[in-house]
Structure 1
């Protein structure tokens, strides 16, 4: 048996030493990169000076979070084929980002999603709605990451599941470190941390997968056979669909709901959308998504091997009983393969993964409030960069504290499941309004508000009254039962509802002033990039958008 007791996984001194070295490395990167954050453009987008390849690696680093490395590996280890479905849906979602979002978003905005919506809709209401959505989704996603970090460090330090207070302290320390990253580094520092982290994570995944396959003569069938033999309860069901989502008709519907959220979620996440503004033009935005697709797809293949390898060498029962539960599958496998040193390296890389992702989420949330709400709604564009950055940093502090509280509440949950809930809320709040705003001429401000608030409210309500929060032994609040909605993921209801509400609101509400001209300007800008940040301007709306391009001066007579 790998674990005689839960508190004897590796050597805590070795684990913490390696972990501390990785944290120190990333802090040095953050401090060095953050010295140039003098303007809002530098703090929010790194000055838009990253290449498509650099941003693609950073996108992969931003997306390959605790859910990908810890959550999906654990889901594959426990549920086999059904666990891999988390990865497949998320990977397909990047095609949506490439085809529907990347180029148009880069051409029509500057810092946030609110910039895109306010280009042709009424500025104050849609910026407020966009900021509300961004803050909510970011906090939900942060809760998943911080909870995963708490479980990981609890495993490193040998803190048992029964000691909830000690694990809560660990989560608080993780959240505090996350806040430091954002306050100091801004987007430039965060991007470089994500690039470093993505390279470390992908190399670690390749090493673990190759090491595992080498033990079985590079024969994946032998690895699968060993996983089946070491999982007597599941048996061959580990290799077929249905172990988690096929037992009942309701579970099949739940899987469809999860898949819908996974496909539309990545292109709706605020920290992913914000990354498209760190490149100089739409071509580089498309190129960055292509890079991300290749890197993420390759890493998920490694996760498939790692998940089944954890079942084969560690066992699902041992994983479930460890600190962090299913999230500990990859670190426990590393300990089984290479002992204390490999465990320390894998745990440190996983923690660096979490820090980079939460930094990106926090800066997206703080930028949305500071730029959309404070600068453009409260101050009506009459604010300088220094003041806006100060507000963004204060917002980061508040968001970090909320994430810490939520992470303590969600401690022990599978982070892939938690992230899927964030995906559902993001897609319900953002996808319909983005698509309609970019491609539907009739769309108006009322439609955007109906879609965003209605979809977001429905998703949050259904999550609260779902089995994910109460009513089940694995729920966030297992001791009570107020579950009214039978599905664990609300996407199948809330996402179509947001599209429907966008249509209803558009036909109920009045047309916006000068709507046809604004849509024509947006169409030209989204397709050509003319007038985007750093590109020649074609039209002006200075009263409506603080970042809108100024008209070209009239030519001088010869």
Structure 2
């Protein structure tokens, strides 16, 4: 009876939204016929993942099951799950949209997202698996003050999760708005509600298998799309680039850097954020606790890097092919967005595409595969977003329940049942926050918003994590001061940038007789300032700490190093 009741509640929640589907839309998405093929595929995916959640719920009995799937995921499975967690809406929808709008410069995000993985593979993965239990705060606080470091790590994790969630919710909202003909806010609510169900009932086991299935579907769909698109150019990338230059209003400029990141400082800052931010993302670091030992953790990163690298090659092809196949077809793109002299009417390259640049990959699927493939890719894109949102929410909930509640508030005296209950309540609250943020940031490019999340992760989480593992003189005071300096400086600089201060908060100025959005600083990505600041304050605050506790923490480094490198003492691990 409980099983049928669960399905009944799900159908009761979804049915009103399906019936509310109407042709009147708001924002950048125009009126269009509802794609019933996509809706059927979407419902099949939701039904399948709900079945996985029901199966996972029966297997989730302990905190270890809820947070880490019992540590029983293999390296290959975890590699696919990591790829599924990492290949987000920003990757599939955002990067292809950036390439469509800016050409070559869109590649900076693809390369930046990818090059962080060798850092994780060679420096972080094994150490995290050997030192931690459920969250990366377990590693950061291993030889330091539990209350201080876990509080700081939980706060920084929640900030990163919040920024990352914005991108996923915006992508999901736009996708369902385009697909079902629903108002944007209703679409965001649907995504938030489904995500809560996955995490609350299925925990990490359900999240992992949703991510694995999503990774296989996404890689398959993107491969077919890229091959079908290249086939229209005789499988010649040269011909594709030549026609893209002819079709794009910017002409040959799309094959040169500088249109998206306009100066070297911003380029370096963005590169630092994307490279080192990966090693500070709580939902990615959490995945290394789902495998049995450090060897499987390394294998996870190896497989994930291969899958992710291959996928980013596909997004580059998809973005350039879309320039030709969408700009030259009025059914996908409005010709009035281009002036008589061939130049872009300001702001119209994005507005001219139905759904904006975040929907480039979806539109290309329709162009190369018709209605059936559009339905498949739309359902896959939705699966992509749900899988990532579920992983993010689980990471945020575990930071609240395991790091704040169990370790700080209850001081280790809570039981597993209470901890899991707190985690589920936190999941519900995070779901509400995600829905609110998704509605507030509707107009932002999803890849850019994820770039900001990476900058905060690179400034607040990575310096503390790296120093705690590799620097023997680091102390609790150093970690606390450096972590908060990195977090606060990254958030403040992000708010003062044009992307938030101008584009989101609406501050403008008259420049050359035109009202344009402006920021209080010219730096759009703060990592070049905030990340060195974090390391500098960790160094200064640690070296000036001569307390007795600091001395004990420095002595404890040798024991930590042995466990890091051998795995002796790690849960479920043996020396190797």
TM score, norm. by length of structure 1:
0.90
**1:540 paired residue number:** none
Structure 2 residue 258 is the aligned partner of structure 1 residue 235: no
Deviation at 1:30, TM superposition (A): 2.0
Structure 2 residue 65 is the aligned partner of structure 1 residue 42: yes
Match for 2:367 among 328, 336, 339? Answer: 336
Partners of 1:151 and 1:488 in 2: CA distance: 24
**1:285 paired residue number:** 297
Structure 2 residue 89 is the aligned partner of structure 1 residue 66: yes
Matches of residues 162-181 of structure 1 in structure 2 within 5 Å? 166-181=183-198
Deviation at 1:224, TM superposition (A): 1.2
Partners of 1:128 and 1:6 in 2: CA distance: 42
Partners of 1:56 and 1:271 in 2: CA distance: 14
Partners of 2:404 and 2:419 in 1: CA distance: 10
Deviation per residue, 1:31-75 (Å, 9 max, x gap): 212321110000000010011111000000000000100000100
Match for 2:561 among 510, 513, 523? Answer: 523
Q: Give structure 2 stretches of 5+ with no counterpart.
A: 1-27, 335-348, 509-516
Match for 1:500 among 532, 536, 556? Answer: 536
The answer as to whether partners of 2:507 and 2:518 remain within 8 angstroms in 1 is no
The answer as to whether partners of 1:446 and 1:510 remain within 8 angstroms in 2 is no
The answer as to whether partners of 2:79 and 2:303 remain within 8 angstroms in 1 is yes
Deviation at 1:536, TM superposition (A): 6.0
Deviation at 1:158, TM superposition (A): 4.1
Deviation per residue, 1:238-295 (Å, 9 max, x gap): 112122224xxxx332121111101011111000000000001111000000000100
The answer as to whether partners of 1:11 and 1:340 remain within 8 angstroms in 2 is no
Deviation at 1:216, TM superposition (A): 1.2
**2:412 paired residue number:** 381
Partners of 2:373 and 2:540 in 1: CA distance: 56
Deviation at 1:85, TM superposition (A): 0.9
The answer as to whether partners of 1:10 and 1:343 remain within 8 angstroms in 2 is no
Deviation at 1:323, TM superposition (A): 5.1
Deviation at 1:117, TM superposition (A): 1.8
Deviation at 1:438, TM superposition (A): 0.5
Partners of 1:10 and 1:301 in 2: CA distance: 32
Over 3 Å counting, the alpha-carbon distance change for 1:371 and 1:534 in structure 2 is same
Partners of 2:34 and 2:444 in 1: CA distance: 25
Partners of 2:260 and 2:557 in 1: CA distance: 46
Partners of 2:81 and 2:540 in 1: CA distance: 38
Structure 2 residue 350 is the aligned partner of structure 1 residue 350: no
**1:163 paired residue number:** none
SS in 1 for 2:444: coil
Partners of 1:229 and 1:482 in 2: CA distance: 32
Deviation at 1:170, TM superposition (A): 1.5
Over 3 Å counting, the alpha-carbon distance change for 1:324 and 1:339 in structure 2 is same
Q: CA RMSD in A?
A: 1.7
Structure 2 residue 179 is the aligned partner of structure 1 residue 156: yes
Deviation at 1:20, TM superposition (A): 1.6
Matches of residues 124-203 of structure 1 in structure 2 within 5 Å? 124-158=147-181, 166-203=183-220
Q: Give structure 1 stretches of 5+ with no counterpart.
A: 160-165, 538-558
Partners of 1:119 and 1:202 in 2: CA distance: 38
Structure 2 residue 109 is the aligned partner of structure 1 residue 86: yes
Partners of 2:574 and 2:303 in 1: CA distance: 27
Deviation at 1:6, TM superposition (A): 5.2
Deviation at 1:320, TM superposition (A): 1.6
Over 3 Å counting, the alpha-carbon distance change for 1:478 and 1:310 in structure 2 is farther
The answer as to whether partners of 1:10 and 1:340 remain within 8 angstroms in 2 is no
Structure 2 residue 571 is the aligned partner of structure 1 residue 533: yes
Structure 2 residue 465 is the aligned partner of structure 1 residue 434: yes
Count, aligned residues: 519
Structure 2 residue 78 is the aligned partner of structure 1 residue 55: yes
Structure 2 residue 261 is the aligned partner of structure 1 residue 245: yes
The answer as to whether partners of 1:148 and 1:324 remain within 8 angstroms in 2 is no
Match for 1:478 among 506, 510, 515? Answer: 506
Moved more, 59-68 or 369-378: 369-378
**1:362 paired residue number:** 393
The answer as to whether partners of 1:103 and 1:285 remain within 8 angstroms in 2 is yes
Over 3 Å counting, the alpha-carbon distance change for 1:510 and 1:358 in structure 2 is farther
Structure 2 residue 239 is the aligned partner of structure 1 residue 222: yes
Structure 2 residue 287 is the aligned partner of structure 1 residue 275: yes
SS in 2 for 1:194: helix
Deviation per residue, 1:88-140 (Å, 9 max, x gap): 01100111111211011110111111111221111110011111111111111
**1:549 paired residue number:** none
**2:306 paired residue number:** 294
Over 3 Å counting, the alpha-carbon distance change for 1:41 and 1:263 in structure 2 is same
Over 3 Å counting, the alpha-carbon distance change for 1:301 and 1:482 in structure 2 is closer
**2:480 paired residue number:** 449
The answer as to whether partners of 1:463 and 1:488 remain within 8 angstroms in 2 is yes
Deviation per residue, 1:313-356 (Å, 9 max, x gap): 00296572245411100001111112221111111101100000
Deviation at 1:513, TM superposition (A): 5.4
